[in-house]
Amino acid sequence: DGGITQSPKYLFRKEGQNVTLSCEQNLNHDAMYWYRQDPGQGLRLIYYSQIVNDFQKGDIAEGYSVSREKKESFPLTVTSAQKNPTAFYLCASSLNRGTDTQYFGPGTRLTVL
Amino acid sequence: AQSVTQPDIHITVSEGASLELRCNYSYGATPYLFWYVQSPGQGLQLLLKYFSGDTLVQGIKGFEAEFKRSQSSFNLRKPSVHWSDAAEYFCAVGSIFSGGSYIPTFGRGTSLIVHP
């Protein structure tokens, strides 16, 4: 089955630690995205990538980093510089442009202890 | 700057009743508009989208939405709600980011509660 997988579903980390969230897609999509979701705030764009080895900052990129070494993978690292990292993180992909339908993964809930 | 407003945080309806979820956008050019649905603890699923053409758009699960340029609105409707429709609904407008790519900007969401 084609789709997007995110792992793990739940993640706990201690304050001051970096943590990497996984996102993999087998839809052969060029574009991939990372969103952060907080209660009552909708989705906010962290980073996006239109092509391998290239990515752009979104609205709230500070304290996050990404890589796009392979078409099917777009991992997100939440660094210790992120002041309030506890949130629900969603990865998405689309065929090419932003006007194409985005397909979302099931999300990772990160909690900082 | 582009923005999306969903004025209702929560909407409660009885099963079988009609539904309308409101969405207003702010965007200078012709917008690309989307409605997504999210079940608890899950990712989002596209219900429908509008790019151009007929202003009444049909989507999955019996939903439809109407684009009204004069009111800057893209309201989502369903004639008869089922208990399984209880979820969070997000309106989004495609916005140009740096590099010329269109990226959806999402509203804050409306939580739909369905009473039996």
Q: DSSP per residue over A25-89, as a string?
A: E-S--SEEEEEEE-TTS-EEEEEEEEETTEEEE-TT-TTEEE--SBTTB--EEE-TT-S---EEE
Q: What is the tens place of the pLDDT at every residue in A14-64?
A: 988 999 999 999 999 999 999 999 987 889 999 999 999 999 999 999 999
B8 CB neighbours in chain A (<8 A) are none
The reported pLDDT for the residue numbered B32 is: 87
Do residues A59 and A8 make contact, with C-beta atoms less than 8 angstroms apart? no
Confidence band of B30 (pLDDT split at 50, 70, 90): confident
Residues A67-86, mean pLDDT to the nearest whole number:
94
Answer whether residue A10 shows pLDDT above 90: yes
Q: What is the tens place of the pLDDT at every residue in B80-116?
A: 999 999 999 999 988 766 556 678 889 999 999 999 8
Residue B101 has its nearest CB partner, among A4, A40, A97, at: A97
**CA-atom Rg of chain A in angstroms:** 13
B108 has a chain A CB within 8 A of its CB: yes
A56 CB neighbours in chain B (<8 A) are 97-99, 101
CA B115 to chain centroid, in Å, comes to 21
Answer whether residue B20 shows pLDDT above 90: yes
Mutate to test the interface with B, among A33, A104, A109, A111 (most CBs of B within 10 A): A104
